[in-house]
């Protein structure tokens, strides 16, 4: 009996143990642990690039070239993007926004150095002297000086233009065994030889009138240097001053000698048409600004091969060499929206990297002399060399009282038509100058 009870008890124990184990296994299989939430790593938000607004008036091919340079900068600087805004009324836009105290632009490109100094004096512009110092010895000093006020540079030149001298047809000179004239006497002799061969010695573009003031200023600078030019511009001397009369007489003599062809024909010559005539050799010489270089190349002529450039011949060997030239300067407002970044961009504009990009696209002269010679064509580099070694003065007719400018043009047109009347023309100019400068 006891053996049977023990056996039954053992079987019962085994049964219960099996049930417990089975229950544990079943519970283990059906119980699931909570699923952990998937971890996601948020990408850091990329900083939006700072947009630097540049105001300017460059359009056409000049504007297109500028945009290409800007694209180069924007590709290399993801944190800064330059946006160019062409302003048809640049002066008005800049003045009104600066006067309001909250300009919408960070940089402006201005061709008016006198205005830049005025704005600097009013405290509206940032001091750009650190940029001038960084490029000391590289930037043409004669283009920095016009924007210097009491030792502070309120602008930095980024483009230059010049009226450097006489462009001449190389083939005409070679075919007639002529050397480019270095003195006034040389010029007169060259004119005589060309006239005898039936070639018009020089063109003037007289019909448009303004080119005549460029010729007059070139002669005036060779007679009395930059001091005479500046004094006449400010009317500190009279238009009947002996040296001014000498300049009128020299032009009168050249006209009467036939250096500009028949005066009756010359007064009808449009300035742009003379560019093609120079290229074809119909006229041998033409005093004009550096922009003529690109115009000649667009007609298929090669600088240094088909045409070249010389400074205006010497008249008075005792005066300093000087030319009429100017440029475009960058300014940064005191209250520019992104002033610190704007100063970095201004530094790039002032440097050789930006200016070389522009020079290689033609029709651009770099104030930064670190731009390599090979970036230029021969004619443009010749202009740069002339500028580098000359005193730079502003356009006389662009800096007289505005109403007096067309008076000067009309007077010089009279001189072309009636060379013998130079004395009376000077006297009439003086009478009218008194009225304009006193008002």
Q: What is the 3-state secondary structure (H, E, C) of 235-304?
A: CCCCCCCHHHHHHHHHHHHHHHHCCCCCHHHHCCCCHHHHHHHHHHCCEEEEEECCCHHHHHHHCCCCEC
pLDDT value of residue 148: 97
378 in a domain, yes or no?
Answer: yes
Q: What is the mean pLDDT of residues 109-135?
A: 97
Is the domain of 260 the same as that of 407? yes
- List pLDDT tens digits, range 5-15: 444 444 444 44
Is the domain of 172 the same as that of 260? yes
- List pLDDT tens digits, range 103-113: 999 999 999 99
Is the domain of 279 the same as that of 418? yes
State the DSSP H helix or E strand holding residue 122, giving kind and residue range, or none if neither.
Answer: none
Is the domain of 184 the same as that of 302? yes
Helical segments of 154-209, H only: 170-175, 184-196
Is the domain of 97 the same as that of 210? no
Q: Check whether 26 has a pLDDT greater than 50.
A: no
213 SS3 class? helix
pLDDT value of residue 385: 94
Arithmetic mean of pLDDT over the chain: 91
Is the domain of 186 the same as that of 256? yes
Residue 330 CB neighbour total at 10 angstroms: 25
By 3-state DSSP, what share of the chain in percent is helix, strand and coil, each rounded to 5?
55, 15, 30
Q: Tokens 């119980």 map to which residue?
A: 31
Domains: count for the chain: 2
Is the domain of 184 the same as that of 317? yes
146 in a domain, yes or no?
Answer: yes
6 in a domain, yes or no?
Answer: no
207 in a domain, yes or no?
Answer: yes
Reading the block at residue 313, the tokens are: 């011949």
Is the domain of 372 the same as that of 402? no
- List pLDDT tens digits, range 374-410: 999 999 999 999 999 999 999 999 889 989 999 999 9
397 SS3 class? coil
List, in order, residues 6 or more apart from 179 with CB less than 8 Å away: 173, 186
287 in a domain, yes or no?
Answer: yes
* CATH number of the domain where residue 106 is located: 3.40.190.10
Question: Which residues span the domain enclosing 168?
Answer: 164-323+397-438
- List pLDDT tens digits, range 211-255: 999 999 999 999 999 999 999 999 999 999 999 999 999 999 999
Is the domain of 368 the same as that of 424? no
DSSP per position, 139-161: B-HHHHGGGEETTEE--EEEEEE
168 in a domain, yes or no?
Answer: yes
Q: How many helices (H) and strands (E) does the chain have?
A: 18, 12
272 in a domain, yes or no?
Answer: yes
Is the domain of 120 the same as that of 177? no
Is the domain of 208 the same as that of 351? no
Q: Check whether 192 has a pLDDT greater than 60.
A: yes
Q: Tokens 């922009």 map to which residue?
A: 291
Is the domain of 229 the same as that of 293? yes
pLDDT value of residue 47: 80
72 in a domain, yes or no?
Answer: yes
Per the DSSP assignment, residues forming a β-bridge with 83 are: 53
Q: Check whether 415 has a pLDDT greater than 80.
A: yes
Confidence of residue 39 (pLDDT cuts 50, 70, 90): low
Q: What is the mean pLDDT of residues 161-181?
A: 98
């Amino acid at each position: 009996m006891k053996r049977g009870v023990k056996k039954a008890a053992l079987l019962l124990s085994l049964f219960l143990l099996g049930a417990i184990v089975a229950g544990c296994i079943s519970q283990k299989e059906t119980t699931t642990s909570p699923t952990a939430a998937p971890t996601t790593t948020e990408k850091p938000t990329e900083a939006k690039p700072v947009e630097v607004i540049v105001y300017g008036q460059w359009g056409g091919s000049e504007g297109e070239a500028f945009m290409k340079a800007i694209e180069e900068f924007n590709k290399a600087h993801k944190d800064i993007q330059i946006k160019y805004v062409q302003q048809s009324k640049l002066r008005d836009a800049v003045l009104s926004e600066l006067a309001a105290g909250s300009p919408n632009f960070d940089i402006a490109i201005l061709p008016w150095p006198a205005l830049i100094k005025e704005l600097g004096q009013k405290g509206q512009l940032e001091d750009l002297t650190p940029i001038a110092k960084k490029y000391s010895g590289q930037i043409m000093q004669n283009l920095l000086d016009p924007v210097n006020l009491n030792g502070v540079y309120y602008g930095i030149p980024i483009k230059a233009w010049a009226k450097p001298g006489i462009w001449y047809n190389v083939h005409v000179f070679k075919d007639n065994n002529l050397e480019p004239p270095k003195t006034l006497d040389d010029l007169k002799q060259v004119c005589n030889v060309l006239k005898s061969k039936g070639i018009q010695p020089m063109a003037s573009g007289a019909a448009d009138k303004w080119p005549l003031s460029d010729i007059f200023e070139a002669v005036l600078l060779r007679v009395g240097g930059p001091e005479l030019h500046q004094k006449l511009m400010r009317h500190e001397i009279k238009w009947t001053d002996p040296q001014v009369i000498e300049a009128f007489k020299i032009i009168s003599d050249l006209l009467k000698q036939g250096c500009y062809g028949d005066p009756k024909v010359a007064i009808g010559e449009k300035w742009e048409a003379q560019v093609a005539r120079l290229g074809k050799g119909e006229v041998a010489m033409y005093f004009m600004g550096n922009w003529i270089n690109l115009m000649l190349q667009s007609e298929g002529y090669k600088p240094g091969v088909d045409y070249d450039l010389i400074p205006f011949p010497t008249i008075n060997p005792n005066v300093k060499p000087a030319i009429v030239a100017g440029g475009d300067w960058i300014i940064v407002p005191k209250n520019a929206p992104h002033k610190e970044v704007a100063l970095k961009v201004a530094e790039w504009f002032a440097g050789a990297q930006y200016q070389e990009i522009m020079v290689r696209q033609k029709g651009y002269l770099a104030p930064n002399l670190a731009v390599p010679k090979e970036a230029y064509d021969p004619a443009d580099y010749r202009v740069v060399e002339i500028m580098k070694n000359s005193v730079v003065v502003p356009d006389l007719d662009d800096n007289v009282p505005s109403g007096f400018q067309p008076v000067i043009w009309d007077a010089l047109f009279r001189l072309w038509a009636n060379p013998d009347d130079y004395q009376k023309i000077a006297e009439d100019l003086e009478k009218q100058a008194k009225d304009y400068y006193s008002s």
